[in-house]
């Protein structure tokens, strides 16, 4: 066997090994998603009717939160426009922003209360785990992420 054929054979073998390793890593990649990536309500083990009711509650809650968020964004634009106009920001606008945030908190509490009341006694033990996941989703992950590396 000539050296050229040997080098071709070795190159093809190395290419196949590399492709095999890439395929292995892609196919056996662990699922790094956190509980929020899987529908959280699955933890509650709801029946079909409860799941439909839950999804209706969730949709109404999301819609109400979006409306409040939009109001808050409009108020924030007004509040921070004081910087461009070189005036003092309005305390009235700040109070409205705080009021809208309070509405979101009360609305979310009521949503979770509604979810809890629709559960059967056999499902109530799962509610704590559901709430833990929901709060992690709302508040963000508990673990602090390290800052990106500094450029040198």
**Residues 90/79, Cβ–Cβ less than 8 Å:** yes
Burial code (b: 16+ CB inside 10 Å, e: under 16) for 139-148 equals eeeeeeeeee
Tens of pLDDT, residues 2-55: 899 999 999 999 999 999 999 998 888 776 555 445 577 788 888 899 999 999
Residue-wise pLDDT for 128-146, tens only, equals 988 988 888 888 866 556 6
Hey, how many other C-beta atoms are within 10 angstroms of the C-beta on 57? 17
Which among 34, 15, 31, 17 has a CA at the least distance from the CA of 137? Answer: 34
Q: What is the pLDDT of residue 40?
A: 76
The whole-number average pLDDT for the span 104-133 is 92
Q: What pTM did the predictor assign?
A: 0.65
Ordered structural domains, the chain, with CATH? 47-134 (1.20.120)
**Average pLDDT of 76-105?**
90
The structure tokens listed for 69 are 């968020």
């Amino acid at each position: 066997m000539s050296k050229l054929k040997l080098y071709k054979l070795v190159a093809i073998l190395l290419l196949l090994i590399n492709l095999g390793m890439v395929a292995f890593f892609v196919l056996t990649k662990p699922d790094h998603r956190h509980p929020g990536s899987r529908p959280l309500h699955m933890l509650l083990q709801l029946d079909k009717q409860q799941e439909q009711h839950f999804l209706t509650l969730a949709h109404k809650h999301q819609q109400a939160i979006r409306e409040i968020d939009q109001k808050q964004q409009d108020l924030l634009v007004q509040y921070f426009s004081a910087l461009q106009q070189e005036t003092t920001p309005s305390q009235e606008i700040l109070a409205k922003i705080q009021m809208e945030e309070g509405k979101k908190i009360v609305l979310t509490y009521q949503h979770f209360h509604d979810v809890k009341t629709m559960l059967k006694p056999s499902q109530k033990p799962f509610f704590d785990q559901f709430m833990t996941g929901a709060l992690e989703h709302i508040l963000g992950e508990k673990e602090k992420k390290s800052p990106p590396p500094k450029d040198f």
